[in-house]
Amino acid sequence: MDEALERAEAWWRSPEIIGLFEGGASVATFFQWMHRHRLGRKRILDTKLPAVFREAGIASVLTTNPSDFRNLGGFSVITPS
- pLDDT recorded at residue 12: 84
In contact, 70 and 78? CB cutoff 8 Å: no
In contact, 48 and 28? CB cutoff 8 Å: no
For 17-73, how does the pLDDT look when each residue is reduced to its tens digit (9 = 90+)? 866 556 789 999 999 999 999 999 998 989 998 998 888 888 999 999 898 888 887
Q: Tell me which of 22 and 14 has the higher pLDDT.
A: 14
- Enter the pTM of the model: 0.69
Dihedral sign of CA atoms 41, 43, 44, 45 in order: positive
